[in-house]
Every structure is written in C-alpha cells, then in structure tokens.
Amino acid sequence: MCLLFSCSFLASWLLFGLAFWLIASLHGDLAAPPPPAPCFSQVASFLAAFLFALETQTSIGYGVRSVTEECPAAVAAVVLQCIAGCVLDAFVVGAVMAKMAKPKKRNETLVFSENAVVALRDRRLCLMWRVGNLRRSHLVEAHVRAQLLQPRVTPEGEYIPLDHQDVDVGFDGGTDRIFLVSPITIVHEIDSASPLYELGRAELAQADFELVVILEGMVEATAMTTQCRSSYLPGELLWGHRFEPVLFQRGSQYEVDYRHFHRTYEVPGTPVCSAKELDARAEQASHSPKLSFPGSLAAFCYENELALSCCQEEEEEEEANEENGVETEEGAASPRALTPTLALTLPP
C-alpha cells in the first residue's frame, strides 16, 4: 500500500514535469542562449522541469522557478496540475484510510460448518448448521439470516428461476442475534411456515434448491460492518445427524476444540417423513383413545403394596394349614393367581 501511495505521486510529478519540459522545449527555452521571455523561469532541463512540477503540486514554493505570462499553454498546464493534484490527494488518502479501516480478511475468520443437519430438537424437526469465530476479538451485533433459492412456477404459469424465500431463524424471538464467543448452532424449526415443511428424507435428496446463510456483524476495533456467506445444497444436508460437541470444560475454564467443528454423528430413530406428516400423526394420536390408569401415582403404589401384603398373608396362612394338616380349598387364591394382576397394573 505504501508503494502504491508513493508511485502515484511520483508518476504525477514525472507526467507534469515532462509536459513542462516539452512546452519549454517547443518555445525554445532550452536553446542557448535562452529567449528573453521564456515560458518558465529557471527551467532549462528535464530535471528542472521535474522539480518545478513537484514544487507546484506540493506548494513548496522555493521562489526560484516560476511560470511566466509568455505561454498560455504553460499557464494552463500549471492550472491543470493543481486540479489533478487535489483530486489525487483526495483519492489516495481516502483509499489508504479505507484500507486501514477495513477489516483485513475478517470474514475469513468466520466459519460455517461444511454440512447442515436435520434432526429432532425439542420434539420438532429442525434444520441446523454451525457458525464460529476463529479470532479472539468479538463480533458486535452479530446476527444471522437465511434464504432458500429455488425455481418456482406460480399458479398463473409464470416461471421464476430463482425464487427467494426467507428461512426463519428466530427473528421474532430474537434468537437470530447471537453472541459469538464460542461456536453456535443455528436452528430453523421446520414448521408450517417453513419451505421445507413438506419434504421428507427422500424428497429432500431429490429437491432442487440452495440454502444461502449469512452472518453479519461489526468488527470490534473499527465498528466496520463485515459479512460472511455460505450455502448448502440438498446433498450437503445430512438427515438424522447432529453436530459433535466442541465446548469442553477444563477445570474452571471452557475450551473450544475446532477439530470437532465440522463433525457430525448419526442419530438412530430420527423419523424419515416430513414435518407435515409428523404433525398429522401427532394430531391423530392426540384424538385417539389412550390406556388410562385410575388413580394417582400414590394410589398406584398403595394398590400394589396392598396386593403384595395380601399375598404374603395368604402364604403364611397356607403354611399354617399345612402344618396343622388342613388342605386348602379348591379355587383358593394363590400367589400365582395374583402375579398377572400385578403385571397389568404396572404403568407403561
């Protein structure tokens, strides 16, 4: 950057020095002896013309070299250099300041997981991906957004090659604003408003879309806004997987191991149907009759305790009758007859 700064001014001085030297040469100021009224005073060589251009643009003003009224072209060249010098100063200084204030490669230190996953969380199918910050400095006012891009045909027959649909990541609840002190899993609940609501595992693998995820925030040192983007294709969405933990406690401190950042593990038992079908099954199950157990948990425990005590009393009575030589009556209750009853009263 410093080399570009220096070369831009040096090129400007050389360019106008060459212009002044050509004007003086065409007027005959470089001939010997010089004319009585030259275009430039004390400019008899290219080096003198270069120094005159430098003094003019930087306003040094040594007072030795100057332009005269003899050549209108020389006056016009000096005016043009003054204007060009102001423009060059503003451009170069602005570019340098913007370069210094701009976060250098800041978005390269913000990472997304290589894959997104679909799994159950809080009994709901959710689409999840991970974001992390590799630097120690925080990202102020960090927030995430997501959009689903896919072709769509309207009911009127209009074909939209790239239809943008917002993917809710908690805008209403404020969970889209994150404190990125450690890697965070972004969660999109697949509900009736989600564009993935009718997609199961098989339909997702054959779908044609791209999920674009965006992380924005302000750099802590400069308050400049930075943005990092990534995207996921249907083949990069792992159904029935979860992310491995990356945060571990070591004594009184927490340690983040980024070696596990992209790793996932399979969750057996994840439903392969769509969230819409899951909701339909849950609604159907809520209206179907269920096996109910009378009484409270305390009553259940009391009934089983009472049955066991009765069983013990009958065993003691049988032993006493056997000692006295008394046979038990046919059809009398026995522990074996009570055993199935106890099994039926157990909770599911």
Q: Are residues 146 and 266 in the same domain?
A: yes
At 307 the pLDDT is 42
Q: Are residues 77 and 181 in the same domain?
A: no
- Amino acid occupying residue 237: L
Smallest Cα–Cα separation from 230: which of 213, 246, 245? 213
Across 139-148, 298-307, 315-324, least confident range: 298-307
In the β-sheet with 210-219, what is the strand arrangement from edge to edge? 159-166, 139-153, 210-219, 225-232
The count of structural domains within the chain is 3
Q: Does position 29 have pLDDT exceeding 90, yes or no?
A: no
Which pTM does this prediction carry?
A: 0.61
Q: Does position 334 have pLDDT exceeding 60, yes or no?
A: no
Report yes or no on 222 lying in a domain.
yes
Categorize the per-residue pLDDT at 32 as very low, low, confident or very high, splitting at 50, 70 and 90.
Answer: confident
At 99 the pLDDT is 72
Q: Are residues 97 and 115 in the same domain?
A: no
At 343 the pLDDT is 32
Q: Out of 101, 134, 157, pick the residue that ends a domain.
A: 101
Cβ–Cβ < 8 Å for 122, 182? no
Q: Are residues 154 and 265 in the same domain?
A: yes
Across 35-44, 45-54, 147-156, 175-184, least confident range: 35-44
Q: Are residues 196 and 232 in the same domain?
A: yes
Categorize the per-residue pLDDT at 234 as very low, low, confident or very high, splitting at 50, 70 and 90.
Answer: very high
Q: Out of 101, 129, 164, pick the residue that ends a domain.
A: 101
**C-alpha separations of 176 from 120, 170, 185, 224, 275 in Å:** 20, 5, 11, 20, 22
Report yes or no on 324 lying in a domain.
no
- Give the burial class of 136: count Cβ atoms within 10 A of its Cβ; 0-12 exposed, 13-18 middle, 19 or more buried: exposed
At 290 the pLDDT is 54
At 316 the pLDDT is 53
- The domain containing residue 263 runs over which residues? 110-283
Rounded mean pLDDT of 287-304? 46
Q: Does position 296 have pLDDT exceeding 70, yes or no?
A: no
